[in-house]
Structure 1
Amino acid sequence: MSDPLPLEPPDAHPLEPVEERLARRLERGEVGAGARSRRRAASLLHRLARYDRAVFRSVAQMQTPLLDEPLRRASVFANFSKPWFLVAGVVALLGGPLGRRAAATGLAAIGTASLVVNQPMKRAGERRRPDRDDLGVPHERRVSMPSSTSFPSGHSASAAAFAVAVGDVLPALRLPLRVAASVVGFSRVYTGVHYPADVLVGATSGAVLGRLVSRAARRTGFLPE
């Protein structure tokens, strides 16, 4: 069976995707490991890059016009973490002392995720944004293309960090917040501004950081055990 997408020439896009760049470093012997291990790792990275683009194309080709406007709006509304600041305000206003602490913990998680993902991780990834024309994203669902690098997704990281941190404090909100975070993450692929791997890594990083922030808040006594 042939690969779902052809490999690009090695120097066609020096910053895209991150898997290909790492694979070429392995192939050139720039990473210390045995030759056989480097070949296996490089092959896996090439395969992951192709699958990533294949999934992106599959989402782009979805015939779901009823989702275009809702997901486009969700993607735009998630800029600057607006949904999570809104939820934090409502939780702080209506949730009593524990709600205020949960809101503060969630905002701290967003700040931590933004600092980690939007600075060192994006700089290390250096992945260009998807070419929506080449990959077939319909114009009706597109949003403005961010100027930052693509890997990982800051929107997904902030959403996951807030959902996990607040959900740890207020379990009743765990499911709705995680569903909302998932919608935001999917909307970033659907509108063509991120590859699936960007969202997956961003969400995973955000979830881990959100959990660490909530645990730190408990250990310092800010949250009850």
Structure 2
Amino acid sequence: MTDSPHRIAGYDRAVYRTVARLSTPVLDKPLRRVSDLANFSKLWFLVAGAVALCGGPRGRRAALAGLTAIGATSLVVNQPIKKLAGERLRPDRPGLGVPAQRWVRMPSSGSFPSGHSASAAAFAVTVGGLLPGLRPALRLVASVVAFSRVYTGVHYPSDVLVGAAVGALFGRLAARLALRRWPPPQPNDKCSHSGARARRETRTRRSTGPQ
């Protein structure tokens, strides 16, 4: 049992090194840009703006709920969780073999868990829960953000996985609260109202017909 943390850390570094050895220069620049764009949730503010602009009232509500989920998640991840985790040191990129052309600025905060991954999951799960049509695209973008944090060398895989799990938890909660506050329209209700109105009009025509 006492060896478990060391064993997990060993697996973590092994996966990190495997990603570092990936020979994919075509991805270096795009993933650096994605990682940088996700700083301070800039990427998600842009997505929220597009959703609010194009999605009507439901889009605006979903965007608001998604940004609220990011705020709550960031507050919890960047304060109590990172402190409870003991401010885990960031990976040693040169020592672990991450090519320098992949590097982005190394944050000064603790490594565990990943705030970028937490925010990405929180937004994707919240907005995807309110607008199911966007769910696949949002999950894909959130996954790319999370992977970019390992690819650029600023996080271990476990940082990203735990961050994403925390963000997804907050996202599910935010989506549930938003659906309770703003229930989606029910097509069946509209049909039943239309049917009842049609039946009333039919009865009226019959009662006022030729005598």
Superposed CA RMSD: 1.1
Find the partner of 2:12 among 52, 66, 74: 52
Counterparts of residues 1-225 of structure 1 (less than 5 Å): 40=1, 42-125=2-85, 126-219=87-180, 221-224=181-184
In the alignment, the residues of structure 2 paired with residue 147 and residue 188 of structure 1 have an alpha-carbon distance, to the nearest angstrom, of 14
Q: What one-letter code is carried by the residue in structure 1 that aligns with 2:45? A: F
CA shift at 1:46, angstroms?
A: 1.6
In the alignment, the residues of structure 1 paired with residue 50 and residue 8 of structure 2 have an alpha-carbon distance, to the nearest angstrom, of 41
Structure with bigger gyration radius: 2
Q: Give the structure with the larger helix fraction.
A: 2
**2:184 match: secondary structure:** coil
Q: What one-letter code is carried by the residue in structure 2 that aligns with 1:180? A: V
In the alignment, the residues of structure 2 paired with residue 64 and residue 88 of structure 1 have an alpha-carbon distance, to the nearest angstrom, of 31
CA shift at 1:218, angstroms?
A: 2.5
Runs of 4+ in 1 over 2 A off after TM superposition: 222-225
Q: What one-letter code is carried by the residue in structure 2 that aligns with 1:157? A: A
Farther off after superposition, 209-218 or 98-107: 209-218
Q: Deviations over 1:62-91 (max 9, x none)?
A: 111111111111111110111111111111
In the alignment, the residues of structure 1 paired with residue 93 and residue 18 of structure 2 have an alpha-carbon distance, to the nearest angstrom, of 13
Q: What one-letter code is carried by the residue in structure 2 that aligns with 1:107? A: L
**2:8 match: secondary structure:** helix
CA contact (8 A) 2:121 2:167 kept: yes
Report the TM-score, using the length of structure 1 for normalisation: 0.80
Which sections of structure 2, spanning at least 5 residues, go unmatched? 186-211
Q: Deviations over 1:76-116 (max 9, x none)?
A: 11101111111111111111111110011101110111011
CA contact (8 A) 2:127 2:135 kept: yes
Q: What one-letter code is carried by the residue in structure 1 that aligns with 2:99? A: P
Which sections of structure 1, spanning at least 5 residues, go unmatched? 1-39
CA contact (8 A) 2:121 2:171 kept: yes
**1:76 match: secondary structure:** helix
**2:3 match: secondary structure:** helix
CA contact (8 A) 2:122 2:167 kept: yes
Residue 218 and residue 69 in structure 1: after superposition, are their counterparts in 2 closer, same or farther (change >3 A)?
same
In the alignment, the residues of structure 2 paired with residue 133 and residue 68 of structure 1 have an alpha-carbon distance, to the nearest angstrom, of 16
In the alignment, the residues of structure 1 paired with residue 47 and residue 165 of structure 2 have an alpha-carbon distance, to the nearest angstrom, of 21
Aligned residue-pair number: 184
